[in-house]
Structure 1
Amino acid sequence: MGRIIIIGNWDIIKAYMPYININSVVCFADDSAELKRLYGKVIVRLERIKEFESDYVVIFERENIGFYYTQLKNLGISREKIINWVYYLFFLEQKTTKFSRDAYAIINQSIKQLMVHTLLDIDFGMARNALFIYSRNVQDNLRYIDNYGKKSFLYGVNNYKNIYETLDLTKRYDAVCCLDFYLNHSLTELYEMIEVIRGITRYIFISLPFKCFGIFDEWTEMDFSMYGKVAVFHMELSKLVVIDTYDCNEVNEEVKIFTVTHKEFVPPKNNIYIPIHAGKSSNNMSILRDDIGDSSIAELNPYINECTALYWIWKNTTDKYIGLNHYRRFFCIGKYWGESEQNLLDSKNIKIFLNKYDMIVAEACDFYPRTISEALKESVNPDAYQKAYTATKKIIIKKYPEYKEDYDRYFNGYVSNLCNMFITRREILNKYCEWLFSIILEVVEKLPLDSYDSYSKRIVGFIAERLLTLWIIHNDISVKELPILFIKK
């Protein structure tokens, strides 16, 4: 295919040199190379490549192609001569049709993390790339795969539950997969496809080529953010774009996650998150407050922390799904969408989890070698701790004697779900709050909390935070533990 100059990532270059005719290589170019020759060919500085005659300059790079392209353009290399390694090796040399053959790990990860149970494949992309997802280790998540498109070959089609030549717009899927769609379709056809399938799915998986310069440019420059939030994963020969088409701002009357604060903050854009100020307030913040109405214990906020907001929520709301978050701490689904608020739970995630579990809680903390009791004691005034701990235990044993054994075992153990954050169904919230406040309100009455420093006087709130795990253990509550996203604002 003519003479080439090679630049880029040395790991990729070395991995694919066996597929390159070394006689077609004029030279390698690298400003930082320690060697002077490679595979019998000279290595020169980038600024010298115009001294060598070639048909193409081939960039071996996956993520920083634009960096090399800009350098080459600045050196006067024409656009037509600059191509990327995938285009050179697999379009010009081998004519392969399996550009997403290594997509299994990413799709498998996506199926698990995005809780995909039903999937629609387009044009047998998975079978064509020999990605037999359903026959491997995601069966616990993925129930079935259908395909839409005309059957052009037989290999692998038995992995599909249904094969449709006409798209059934009445059937919904968790995800739709378009692998290597760009090989046989136009960008206009992709736009049209997305407009149709976004009505029957939440997630769309699309594989795209790396930038090739002169071919597929319109594909690589496409902005998918118009359809929702986007994650991009780089594979060996192409990249996988995952689009979440769900509109988190659609009205949802069933789910409310109350976000407790004591100062102004910028809440998440998702409208299920409702800011609530905890404690008696003299400011004019235009948000919900727990010191309004008849059912309020806001004056106890210096002693029981966000529990005053929880009490108000319990007494003054009726939503089916209720949650408690903090203004800087939110439940998230990992880091699938990057380090951002895009990973926060939305109403659909919550309903999926609470159809399987009783409660969503923070990932457990392990205090070993200290016990839960010892770790708490070290953080506050020892006298405040001892009196609060003793009073709490006495009240629990008096009112709920069946808890005694679990109480001792738990506080002498090492693992607890902290942060006083949870999401659950209304009926479970009612049971928990009835139990919790029957204990901590009496503890507050019995202790001289104002005699301690401003932090230690909050000891009842800290104990209440730990009582959540005790209640979960004793009542055999099934929980889904999720990581916490800490937002600095």
Structure 2
Amino acid sequence: MSIYIVTHKKYNFPGMKNYIPIQVGAAYHEDLGFCKDSEGDNISLKNPHYCELTALYFMWKNTNDNIIGLTHYRRYFCNKKTLTPLKHILSYDDAANILKKYDIIVPYKMHRQGKTIRQDYEINHNIRDYDECEKIIIKYFPKYKESFDRVSDSKDLYQYNMFITKRAVFDSYCSWLFKILFELEKRIDISNYDKYNSRVYGFLSERLFNVWLDYNKQLKVKKFEVYNIEENKFSLLKANIKNIIKPIIGMER
């Protein structure tokens, strides 16, 4: 079992069993001395557009762990809300035990107050990319269309592209996801996008992860809080005060 910590810089990582820092965009950045997304079969050069997905692709193509996970250098799954969250980062042993009963570990959903997932994407990004993604799903994975629509019309989203899961589940998801994203690359032009919106494949993958989970309802899902060690707060607290109550009440536990 390996839980990879996506990073692009030196950091004070938690020294925990089977947590492995992986440097993304390593193909064109200084070697930080970690596992690199540029080794083996890789898409490291796509990092400005694929974000943490270059690590995900490396994990898919170059590892054989029975249990595999992805977190970020500043975001980790935590067992509980506490004043000392770093002492409660989900451990290797805890994750392994949880996955004896469940198929995948994910963050709690975040709530988009007043906006659907599609509306939120249209406000913040290029909606034509979202629509093109839908066309690809209709062509290659038509059975997922209903899930795509359901996620698009919802106001809750699993974020961060973070999870820990079993190998068979991981392989199934990656083969589905990268089929869609590589096809999307052929269809859209992002040459005039600013630096933020050029991360289009990373943004869309967060939505697609929700579509995949919605369709694969047979999977037993376990949710955990995500703690941001740089901001010193849990993900649910990103909402402003007036919006906190409704997301928490509506959250599936």
Q: 1:454 aligns with which of 173, 195, 212?
A: 195
Q: Deviations over 1:275-311 (max 9, x none)?
A: 0011223302100111122x11111111111111100
**Equivalent pair of 1:298/1:308 in contact (CA under 8 Å):** yes
Residue 292 in structure 1 maps to residue 42 in structure 2:
no
| 1:481 counterpart residue number | 223
Instruction: Give the secondary-structure state (helix, strand or coil) at the position aligned to 1:450.
Output: coil
Runs (5+) with no aligned partner, structure 2: 232-253
Residue identity matched to 1:429: F
CA shift, 1:404, in A, is 1.2
Distance in 1 (CA, whole Å) between partners of 2:35 and 2:96 is: 24
Is the CA contact 1:303–1:449 (under 8 Å) kept in the aligned structure 2? Answer: no
Task: Please give the alpha-carbon distance, in whole angstroms, between the structure 1 residues aligned to 2:144 and 2:85.
Answer: 41
1:272 corresponding residue in structure 2: 18
- Partners of 2:228 and 2:73 lie apart in 1 by 9
Residues in 2 aligned to 1:369 and 1:352: alpha-carbon distance in whole angstroms: 38
The answer for unaligned runs of 5 or more in structure 1 is 1-254
**Map 1:296-375 → 2, pairs under 5 A:** 296-335=42-81, 338-375=83-120
Q: For 2:223, give the aligned amino acid.
A: E
- Report the Cα distance in structure 2 between the residues aligned to 1:315 and 1:287, rounded to whole angstroms: 18
Deviation string 1:47-100 (CA, Å, 9 cap, x unpaired) is xxxxxxxxxxxxxxxxxxxxxxxxxxxxxxxxxxxxxxxxxxxxxxxxxxxxxx
Partner of 1:449, secondary structure, is coil
C-alpha separation in 2, matches of 1:281 and 1:353: 38
1:256 is aligned to 2
Give the secondary-structure state (helix, strand or coil) at the position aligned to 1:397. Answer: helix
Q: Take 1:465 and 1:413, find their aligned partners in 2: how far apart are those partners?
A: 14
SS at match of 2:101: coil
In the comparison of the two structures, how many residue pairs are matched? 229
CA contact under 8 A between 1:290 and 1:298: conserved in structure 2?
yes
Deviation at 1:376, TM superposition (A): 2.2
Q: Cα distance, 1:419 vs. partner?
A: 0.7
SS, match of residue 4 in structure 2: strand
- Paired with 1:387 and 1:299, the residues of 2 have a C-alpha distance of 24
In the alignment, what sits opposite 1:463? 204
Identical aligned residues as a percent = 37
Distance 1:445 1:283 in 2: 30
What are the residue-to-residue correspondences of 1:67-216 with 2, within 5 Å? none
Is it true that 1:283 corresponds to 2:30 in the alignment?
Answer: yes
Paired residues of 2:121 and 2:127 also in contact (CA < 8 A): no
For the residue of structure 1 that corresponds to 2:161, the secondary structure is coil
* Corresponding residue number in structure 2 for 1:431: 172
The residue aligned with 1:440 is 181
Normalized per residue, the structure richer in helix is 2
Match of 1:410 among 127, 144, 151: 151
Tell me the distance in 1 between the aligned counterparts of 2:84 and 2:190. Answer: 40
Write 1 or 2 for the structure with the bigger share of strand.
Answer: 1
Which residue identity does 2:117 align to in structure 1?
A: I
1: distance between equivalents of 2:124 and 2:127?
12
Q: CA RMSD in A?
A: 1.4
Q: Distance in 1 between matches of 2:29 and 2:9?
A: 12
Name the aligned partner's letter for residue 395 of structure 1.
Answer: I
Q: Which has the higher contact order (CA 8 A, sep 6+)?
A: 2
The 1-side partners of 2:96 and 2:36 are apart by 27
Displacement of 1:353: 1.4
